[in-house]
Amino acid sequence: MNLSILPLTILAFSPALAAQSHTYDLDIQAAASGFTFGGDTSLGPIVGTPNYFEMDGIQSVTLSPASGPFTSGEIVGGDAYTVPSTISAKIPNVFSWLPPLARIYIHDSRLSLESAPFSIDPATGAYTADVTTTFLGGTVEVIPLVGSAFTVDLATLPPGPPTASTGTVVVSGGEVVAEAPVDFDVAFDDGAGTWANVWMDGTTRATAPVSSGGAQLSVNNLVHGQQAVFAFTGGTPNTATFMAYSLTGPGSTNVGQLGVTLGLASPVDSGIRVSTDGAGSVSYSINIPNGAAGASVWLQGCQPGVVTNVLAETVL
Which tens digit of pLDDT belongs to each residue from 107-126? 999 999 999 999 999 889 99
* Domain residue extents for the chain: 3-17+214-314, 22-209
CATH pick for 22-209 out of 2.40.160, 3.40.390, 1.10.150, 3.30.1600: 2.40.160
Q: What is the pLDDT of residue 7?
A: 31
Residue 154: DSSP 8-state:
G
Q: What is the pTM of this model?
A: 0.65
292 DSSP assignment = -
pLDDT at 12: 29
How far CA 57 is from CA of 112, 206, 213, in Å, comes to: 10, 9, 24
Which three-class secondary structure state does DSSP give residue 155? helix
Choose among 69, 20, 74: nearest CA to 262: 69
**Portion of the chain with pLDDT greater than 90, in percent:** 46
Q: What's the confidence (pLDDT) of residue 211?
A: 66
Nearest to 115 by CA among 40, 59, 187, 193: 59
pLDDT, tens only, 211-248 = 656 788 889 999 999 999 999 988 888 999 999 999 98
Task: Summarize pLDDT for 193-209 with one digit per residue, the tens.
Answer: 778 888 889 999 999 87
Tell me: pLDDT of 1 over 70: no
167 vs 18, higher pLDDT: 167
Beta bridge partners of 48: 89
- Reported CATH class of domain 3-17+214-314: mainly beta
In angstroms, rounded to a whole number, what is the distance separating the alpha carbons of residues 230 and 49?
Answer: 58
Of 59-68, 107-116, 149-158, 259-268, highest mean pLDDT: 107-116
* Chain-centroid distance, C-alpha 1: 33
Secondary structure of residue 38 in the 3-state scheme:
strand
Higher-scoring residue by pLDDT: 152, 178: 178
